[in-house]
A and B are shown apart, each in its own frame.
Chain A
Amino acid sequence: MPVQFAAKRLGKELSKIQNGLPPGIELVSADDLEEWLLDIRVLDNNPLYLNETYRLKFRFSQSYPIEPPEVVFVKQADRPIPVHPHIYSNGIICLDLLGQQGWSPVQSVESVCMSLQSMLTGNTKNERPAGDEDFVRANKLRPKDIEFYYHDNSV
């Protein structure tokens, strides 16, 4: 049943996405109901992200939307990882929205993309999170298993 539920919900979301997305968000691929790729751009003239496009990878569990999807930035030749105090250089995002506690089943792929977009838009610090190098080197966990400490309420 949960399998069907996730599939039905994702089917609905996909058909809605194919009907149109907010500006700056584009669907790259959604070949199955497990992993989707989307591109996002920052729309205003924030010099940190000007003229850059970033690629997001969504992975859905069978418990979606009760459980949050796993969302990371992926690095490609023309798709860098955005510099942000809450985004590690391996693409892992520290955002309570994507954690078990902050997630709500009323969120969707579209709303997550918009949240990330606004998170980048509002950022002025050209820096990585503290301990970025150590974390990137040492981390073997999947993003959802990492216990983040959400301390920054300004995002």
Chain B
Amino acid sequence: MSSEMPPPNTPEEGVAATNLSSRAEARRIIGSGVPSTIYDSPASSAGGSRRSSLADFDPYQIPLRAHTQHQTEPTIDFQALDYAQQVDEALLCPICHTPFYLPMTTKTCGHTFCASCLDRALETQHVCPIDRRPLDIARDITQTQTRVILDQLDRLKAKCPNTGCDHVCSRELLRSHVERYCEYTQVPCPDPQCDETIYRKDARPENGCLHQVTLCPYCETALTFNDLERHYDQECTGQEAECPYCDTIVVRHRLPKHIATDCQEVETHCKFQSAGCKQFARRKNIQEHQKDGCVYEAIAKLMQAREEDQRIITELKGRLDALDGRTRHLERYGGGNRESREPSAFTRAAPPTQGLTAHALNNLNQMHQATTAYPDVAEANENIMLDELFETFDQGNIHHYESSYGSPQVAPVMMPPDAPPVPWAQPNGGGQWESAEDYMLAQFEAMEAKIEDLRKMMVELDGRHTMRLVNDTMRMNEQIAELGSKVGVLGMHTTWLMSMQRQSRGQQTAAGGSTPGNARSNISGTGGGGGGGSGNGGSAGNNDESRGRTNTAAAGGSGSSRTATQQGNRNGGDGDGARGRYLNTSEVPPVRRSSVARGENPPRL
């Protein structure tokens, strides 16, 4: 990549451009039909230093117009372009009937025109040319912003406007073609003393100035060298010569060309001679022979295809070399103070502690050894190795996650410093960088690989975290739901018991005179029911029932029974009737009962 010509508008070219004299810039002329008055621009009369010699001249180093003072002047008449394709009518300016150039759109009615066309149309009337709505030039007109339209216009295939050039390219590239590359653009004569222009293809320092007047050797017309070719082709009436083979009369100057390509009588070889055809006859016969189908035509095509293949192979080799350079850097960068594992090719099993980057780089290194050794299978190898590389990346990721999962350590993303110290394999004896760009590119790619690596790990880590979170939360959710249902059941029990208690108290109140035994029995029943939740107190209450009511209440002195009693007490306080009963009877004061409950467990009988 670095060996290719720099693209247009690179800083280098800008530097080269500034080396040219201001006069050369001022004399910058585009297009064959431009009148020479443009030479006499302020810049040229400003008297910059002239180029000192022909040797400085390079017709391809003429600066872009952007560097000159003629920035606003159009170098190509875009409205006069021929297009190599059918242009959709929607892209044609309704005024000039050519594809929009610098389109402007009206804000009021949304009609689009070329900037110059609209300018011209508005000179006479300030209305939209299509629907005659009044237009405020300052306010109602805006540059067309719609990207799709501008892109379509940019992509139109246009023909180079220079006569003689048959270049076709998308319209946006046309300017750079004409200004920089087109052989038929008029450029200043290489002779600094000459003010004429000349086709770029003829502007060679070794040609010198082609504008000196000379005489046609045949008709003695005064001409410049520049015009000589055209003169021979179209005008020269001078000395003519007779073709020795076919008796045609041609201009003497053209005789060699006539014999070489046109004369029908001269003997010549079949054009497939290089492919093995031995036909040698007069041109007219040869032409018939070729028309009928020379058997060597197929071979010629085959050879052509082979040449094409060869070219592609060479190109691929070049690219491989560039890649090799980058890889070497990658190794150097990634393995400068780190080491890789064993260098055997196609290693799959990377130990968990092996650094991911180091292993990946090692693989890359092997890949290039393989590809340089067998250039014919380079591409196949590349694919295999790339696959493997990705696998390695994946394996590496998993290892790191497994080792780091559940431990507070940071995952060993980079190669740990205490990895097995095997020297890094260095193909071709250590990488020398071809250019700074290669170096930077390789560094950049190494960084990119690392970032990508980290990104993958992050994604996986994130996934794991999410999974774990979901798992844990689900379990907790279940537990909470279970607890919730238990609380609900307890609540139901309590409600049931309370209503039972109220009911029985209500019955007692209704019965009037109450006996202590009754009251006790009631309370003990409450204690037993409350203990039912835990089980122990309930069974104790049931067992003791036959032994005596007081004991039963005392036997319920474990936690649950006490809770139930107190609860019953508190609940009893809620109901006025119940309180009144306690106060009236004073048989079962809560203090006494609680002292019983707090005392040691009574012996069970």
Whether B97 and A105, one on each chain, are in contact in the complex, defined by CB atoms closer than 8 angstroms, is no
Whether A9 and B124, one on each chain, are in contact in the complex, defined by CB atoms closer than 8 angstroms, is no
* Contacts of B94-109 to chain A: CB distance below 8 A: 94-98
In the assembled complex, B208 has its CB within 8 A of some CB on chain A: no
Interface segment out of the listed B115-123, B415-423, B445-453, B559-567 = B115-123
How far apart sit A101 and B132, CA to CA, in the bound complex (Å)?
10
Shortest distance from the beta carbon of B129 to any chain A beta carbon, whole Å: 5
Partner of B94, one of A13, A16, A106: A106
Whether A104 and B130, one on each chain, are in contact in the complex, defined by CB atoms closer than 8 angstroms, is yes
Whether B95 and A105, one on each chain, are in contact in the complex, defined by CB atoms closer than 8 angstroms, is yes
The DSSP consensus for interface residues of chain B is loop
How far apart sit A13 and B132, CA to CA, in the bound complex (Å)?
23
Specify the chain A residue showing the minimal Cβ separation from B96.
A9
Whether A66 and B121, one on each chain, are in contact in the complex, defined by CB atoms closer than 8 angstroms, is yes
Shortest distance from the beta carbon of A138 to any chain B beta carbon, whole Å: 29
Which B residues are in CB contact (< 8 Å) with A12?
Answer: 96-98
Which A residues are in CB contact (< 8 Å) with B124?
Answer: 66-67, 100
| Total chain A interface residues with beta-carbon distance under 8 A | 16
How far apart sit A106 and B96, CA to CA, in the bound complex (Å)?
8
Whether A105 and B80, one on each chain, are in contact in the complex, defined by CB atoms closer than 8 angstroms, is no
* Residues A106 and B79 in contact in the complex (CB < 8 Å), given A5-B120, A9-B96: no
How far apart sit A100 and B96, CA to CA, in the bound complex (Å)?
19
Whether A4 and B130, one on each chain, are in contact in the complex, defined by CB atoms closer than 8 angstroms, is no
Whether A66 and B120, one on each chain, are in contact in the complex, defined by CB atoms closer than 8 angstroms, is yes
* Contacts of A56-97 to chain B: CB distance below 8 A: 65-67
* Contacts of B79-102 to chain A: CB distance below 8 A: 79-80, 94-98
Partner of A104, one of B79, B120, B123, B129: B129
Partner of A106, one of B77, B98, B123, B129: B129
Which A residues are in CB contact (< 8 Å) with B80?
Answer: 4, 8
How far apart sit A66 and B119, CA to CA, in the bound complex (Å)?
10
Which B residues are in CB contact (< 8 Å) with A100?
Answer: 124
Specify the chain A residue showing the minimal Cβ separation from B127.
A104
| Total chain B interface residues with beta-carbon distance under 8 A | 17
Whether B98 and A105, one on each chain, are in contact in the complex, defined by CB atoms closer than 8 angstroms, is no
Residue-wise interface mask of A (1-45) relative to B, using a CB-CB cutoff of 8 A (1 in contact, 0 not) = 000110011001100100000000000000000000000000000
Specify the chain B residue showing the minimal Cβ separation from A104.
B129
Shortest distance from the beta carbon of A74 to any chain B beta carbon, whole Å: 26
Which B residues are in CB contact (< 8 Å) with A16?
Answer: 97
Which B residues are in CB contact (< 8 Å) with A67?
Answer: 124
Which B residues are in CB contact (< 8 Å) with A101?
Answer: 125
How far apart sit A108 and B89, CA to CA, in the bound complex (Å)?
15
How far apart sit A8 and B77, CA to CA, in the bound complex (Å)?
11
How far apart sit A65 and B93, CA to CA, in the bound complex (Å)?
12
Which A residues are in CB contact (< 8 Å) with B129?
Answer: 104-106
Specify the chain B residue showing the minimal Cβ separation from A15.
B97
* Residues A65 and B95 in contact in the complex (CB < 8 Å), given A104-B129, A104-B130: yes
Residue-wise interface mask of B (162-198) relative to A, using a CB-CB cutoff of 8 A (1 in contact, 0 not) = 0000000000000000000000000000000000000
Which A residues are in CB contact (< 8 Å) with B132?
Answer: 104
Shortest distance from the beta carbon of B502 to any chain A beta carbon, whole Å: 98
Partner of B97, one of A4, A13, A104: A13
Whether B94 and A5, one on each chain, are in contact in the complex, defined by CB atoms closer than 8 angstroms, is no
Specify the chain B residue showing the minimal Cβ separation from A65.
B95
How far apart sit A4 and B117, CA to CA, in the bound complex (Å)?
13
Partner of A105, one of B77, B79, B117: B117
How far apart sit A8 and B80, CA to CA, in the bound complex (Å)?
7
Which A residues are in CB contact (< 8 Å) with B98?
Answer: 8, 12
How far apart sit A7 and B97, CA to CA, in the bound complex (Å)?
12
Shortest distance from the beta carbon of B493 to any chain A beta carbon, whole Å: 92
Shortest distance from the beta carbon of B92 to any chain A beta carbon, whole Å: 9
Interface centre among B95, B96, B98, B121 (most CB of A within 10 A): B95
How far apart sit A83 and B358, CA to CA, in the bound complex (Å)?
96
* Contacts of A109-137 to chain B: CB distance below 8 A: none
Which A residues are in CB contact (< 8 Å) with B120?
Answer: 5, 66, 105
Shortest distance from the beta carbon of B75 to any chain A beta carbon, whole Å: 15
Specify the chain B residue showing the minimal Cβ separation from A100.
B124
How far apart sit A100 and B132, CA to CA, in the bound complex (Å)?
13
Specify the chain A residue showing the minimal Cβ separation from B123.
A66
How far apart sit A101 and B127, CA to CA, in the bound complex (Å)?
11
Specify the chain B residue showing the minimal Cβ separation from A13.
B97
Whether B94 and A8, one on each chain, are in contact in the complex, defined by CB atoms closer than 8 angstroms, is no
Shortest distance from the beta carbon of B462 to any chain A beta carbon, whole Å: 60
Interface centre among B79, B121, B123, B124 (most CB of A within 10 A): B124
How far apart sit A104 and B111, CA to CA, in the bound complex (Å)?
14
How far apart sit A106 and B95, CA to CA, in the bound complex (Å)?
5
Whether B130 and A5, one on each chain, are in contact in the complex, defined by CB atoms closer than 8 angstroms, is no
How far apart sit A105 and B129, CA to CA, in the bound complex (Å)?
6
Which A residues are in CB contact (< 8 Å) with B95?
Answer: 9, 65, 105-106
How far apart sit A104 and B123, CA to CA, in the bound complex (Å)?
12
How far apart sit A152 and B141, CA to CA, in the bound complex (Å)?
33
Shortest distance from the beta carbon of A143 to any chain B beta carbon, whole Å: 18
How far apart sit A8 and B116, CA to CA, in the bound complex (Å)?
14
Specify the chain A residue showing the minimal Cβ separation from B92.
A12
Whether A8 and B121, one on each chain, are in contact in the complex, defined by CB atoms closer than 8 angstroms, is no
Interface centre among B80, B97, B124, B129 (most CB of A within 10 A): B97
Shortest distance from the beta carbon of A101 to any chain B beta carbon, whole Å: 8
How far apart sit A66 and B130, CA to CA, in the bound complex (Å)?
13
Specify the chain B residue showing the minimal Cβ separation from A106.
B94
Shortest distance from the beta carbon of B275 to any chain A beta carbon, whole Å: 44
How far apart sit A101 and B99, CA to CA, in the bound complex (Å)?
27
Specify the chain B residue showing the minimal Cβ separation from A66.
B120
How far apart sit A4 and B80, CA to CA, in the bound complex (Å)?
9
Shortest distance from the beta carbon of B279 to any chain A beta carbon, whole Å: 46
Which A residues are in CB contact (< 8 Å) with B79?
Answer: 5, 8
Shortest distance from the beta carbon of B121 to any chain A beta carbon, whole Å: 5
Q: Nearest 8 pairs between A and B by C-beta?
A: A106-B94, A12-B97, A105-B95, A104-B129, A105-B121, A106-B129, A105-B129, A66-B120
A-B contact pairs, 26 of them (CB 8 A): A4-B77, A4-B80, A5-B79, A5-B96, A5-B120, A8-B80, A8-B98, A12-B96, A12-B97, A12-B98, A13-B97, A16-B97, A66-B120, A66-B121, A101-B125, A104-B121, A104-B130, A104-B132, A105-B95, A105-B117, A105-B120, A105-B129, A106-B94, A106-B95, A106-B129, A106-B130
* Residues of B that sit less than 8 Å from A by CB: 77, 79-80, 94-98, 117, 120-121, 123-125, 129-130, 132
Seed contacts A105-B94, A105-B129; 13 additional CB < 8 Å A-B pairs: A4-B77, A5-B79, A5-B120, A8-B98, A66-B120, A100-B124, A105-B95, A105-B117, A105-B120, A106-B94, A106-B95, A106-B129, A106-B130
